[in-house]
Amino acid sequence: MFLRAGTVPPGTGTAAACRGTGRTEEGGNITQEFLYKAGSREGPAEEGTLYAESREEAGLTLLKQYERIYRLETVRRFFPARRRKLNDFDRETFFHQMGLLLKSRIPILRVLQLMGSGHAAGTALLCRSMAAELARGMALSQSFARHREEVGDLACSLAAAGEKSGQVGTVLEALADSYRQRRKVRRNLISACLYPALLLVLGTGVSLCFVQGILPVFADLYGTLKMPVPLAMRMLLQAAAWARQAPAAFGMLLALPVVFAGILLRTRGLRVFCLGPLRRLYGAYWEIRFTSLLALLLRSGLTVDEALAEAGKILPEGRLRLAGSRLSQAVFKGESLARAAQQNPALCSRLTAEFIAIGEASGQLASMLHEVSQLHRQEFQDGLKRIRTFLEPALLLLLAGLCTIMVYLVLSPMLHLMDGLPVSI
């Protein structure tokens, strides 16, 4: 079999074959791209491109296919393609297109070759690398495991389940839909936080302009009139003078609350702000992710205990991860999933437990989990809208109150002076 130009030859050697300029997971050498011209003694020469870790490996690979090698040159690129972690949108597009092509009964190797020529650099490099690995006899789930950083942790287990059930295309389309739903929830969260963040930034900017530009004018006016400067104004003027003398230190002081909030969010997550309605939204957010992922894993062919173990990995550390572990252990010991869900209300609400009981009784557990995740997702969006409806006027009133207090503190001595002036008739 002769290799056409631009194809990847089967048997390209080691685990890092066709992996661009990235490194192997085992820490192997950097993969290189080679241009070759080879053929038999009697037939015409063929030209093409292959990927290998060294020139010697590339030569051995070609000798398995051809009798003679006429040319073998390393491709030197000024900006070589590099492996990168794909975002949720890239993964959604990748799995959706792969699932559609596989459901059209196109061979997986041909699917990867088609996708490797029409995507961005990162996805194209991933497709070419996977094509080389599958051409050497590696399974799709094994190739996903080697590229876990790019495709995510779920792709390997889902692809393995799809290979067992013969529904790889359907499973990959369901995985793409899960990434789409996750992006939608994240977009709603960002849109809900955008307005408060904008008000905070504008309020901070207006306050700085007031302190730096307007307060000194009033201070000079009070000095001219030989009036005592209010204590709050003196403190603000001293802070403004210090900010002009040491702007770097003042900027670091302003950045401290932001840094502290970021550290809290990274170490404790949204639990820092889980009070009242926010606490319910936090629990609903993770319940949505858990139930939707559990439904996806069950649809792909995993057993209930295997699906629970995989879905529990996405839960944050703390009471939710503990509830997921208890749920998995209870089902592993032989208890029904509905009863275990009722005993773990931190992770599974009453509505979720009812849908699980109906799913177990009817044999449609995956469908019921999918339905309850959709209901919780709608409730979550409604909760975000309610909080935003309350938060917007509350923040406006807060900013208006702060501005009123600042203006009163600045103008109160002048108002007292005007009250003391004699009234002419």
Task: Compute the distance between CA of residue 298 and CA of residue 300 in angstroms, rounded to an integer.
Answer: 5
Query: Which of 101-110, 145-154, 160-169, 215-224 has the lowest average pLDDT?
Result: 215-224
pLDDT of 42 over the 60 cut = yes
Nearest to residue 376, comparing CAs of 355, 390, 392, 391? Answer: 355
Which residue carries 């020469």 as its tokens? 45
Residue 206 CB neighbour total at 10 angstroms = 13
pLDDT-derived band at 22 (thresholds 50, 70, 90) equals very low
Query: Which of 170-174, 238-242, 377-381 has the lowest average pLDDT?
Result: 238-242
Report the pLDDT value the prediction gives residue 358, as an integer from 0 to 100: 93
- Give the residue-averaged pLDDT of 65-69: 81
Q: What are 106-116's pLDDT values in tens digits?
A: 888 888 878 87
Task: Compute the distance between CA of residue 20 and CA of residue 34 in angstroms, rounded to an integer.
Answer: 11
Strands 46-52 and 68-74: unpaired
pLDDT-derived band at 30 (thresholds 50, 70, 90) equals very low
Report the pLDDT value the prediction gives residue 119, as an integer from 0 to 100: 57
- Give the residue-averaged pLDDT of 356-370: 90
pLDDT-derived band at 10 (thresholds 50, 70, 90) equals very low
Query: Which of 70-74, 85-89, 319-323, 339-343 has the lowest average pLDDT?
Result: 85-89
Q: What percent of the chain has pLDDT over 70?
A: 78
Report the pLDDT value the prediction gives residue 83, as an integer from 0 to 100: 54
pLDDT of 127 over the 80 cut = yes
Query: Which of 141-145, 210-214, 325-329 has the lowest average pLDDT?
Result: 210-214
> Which neighbouring-strand residues pair with 39?
68
Average pLDDT, the chain: 75
Q: What are 307-357's pLDDT values in tens digits?
A: 888 888 888 888 888 888 999 898 888 888 999 989 888 888 899 999 999
Taking each helix axis from N to C end, the angle separating 277-299 and 319-332, rounded to the nearest 10 degrees, works out to 40
Q: What percent of the chain has pLDDT over 90?
A: 3
Distant-in-sequence, close-in-space partners of 71: CB < 8 Å, separation ≥ 6: 35, 36, 37, 38
Report the pLDDT value the prediction gives residue 38, as an integer from 0 to 100: 84
What's the first-to-final CA gap in the chain, in angstroms?
113
pLDDT of 52 over the 50 cut = yes
Q: What are 368-423's pLDDT values in tens digits?
A: 998 998 898 888 888 878 877 887 788 788 878 877 877 777 777 666 666 655 55
Report the pLDDT value the prediction gives residue 417, as an integer from 0 to 100: 63
pLDDT of 55 over the 50 cut = yes
Report the pLDDT value the prediction gives residue 5, as an integer from 0 to 100: 33
pLDDT of 28 over the 50 cut = no
Report the pLDDT value the prediction gives residue 93, as an integer from 0 to 100: 87
Largest CA distance in the chain: 122
Angle at CA of residue 220, ends 412 and 398, nearest 5°: 40
Query: Which of 11-25, 26-40, 395-409 has the lowest average pLDDT?
Result: 11-25
pLDDT of 2 over the 60 cut = no
Top-confidence residue, 276 or 10: 276
Top-confidence residue, 97 or 205: 97
> Which neighbouring-strand residues pair with 35?
49, 73
pLDDT-derived band at 209 (thresholds 50, 70, 90) equals confident
Report the pLDDT value the prediction gives residue 356, as an integer from 0 to 100: 92
In this prediction the pTM is 0.61
Distant-in-sequence, close-in-space partners of 372: CB < 8 Å, separation ≥ 6: 291, 351, 352, 355, 356
The phi, psi pair for 152, rounded to 5°, reads 95, 170
Task: Count Cβ neighbours within 10 Å for each residue of 98-128 and write b for 16 or more, e otherwise.
Answer: bbebbeeeeebeebbbbbbeebeebbbbbbb
- Give the residue-averaged pLDDT of 62-84: 71
Report the pLDDT value the prediction gives residue 53, as an integer from 0 to 100: 61
Top-confidence residue, 57 or 318: 318
Report the pLDDT value the prediction gives residue 27, as an integer from 0 to 100: 35
The phi, psi pair for 114, rounded to 5°, reads -65, -45
Nearest to residue 391, comparing CAs of 207, 193, 206? Answer: 193
pLDDT of 140 over the 70 cut = yes
pLDDT of 26 over the 70 cut = no
Task: Compute the distance between CA of residue 370 and CA of residue 28 in angstroms, rounded to an integer.
Answer: 42
Task: Compute the distance between CA of residue 155 and CA of residue 147 in angstroms, rounded to an integer.
Answer: 10
Backbone region of residue 334 per phi and psi (left: phi > 0; alpha: psi in -120 to 50; beta: other values)? left
Q: In what order do the strands lie in the sheet with 46-52?
A: 46-52, 32-39, 68-74
Q: Coil, helix or strand for 258?
A: helix
Top-confidence residue, 226 or 330: 330
Q: In the chain, helix, strand, coil percent, each to 5?
A: 70, 5, 25
8 Å CB contact between 347 and 337:
no
pLDDT of 6 over the 60 cut = no
Report the pLDDT value the prediction gives residue 277, as an integer from 0 to 100: 60
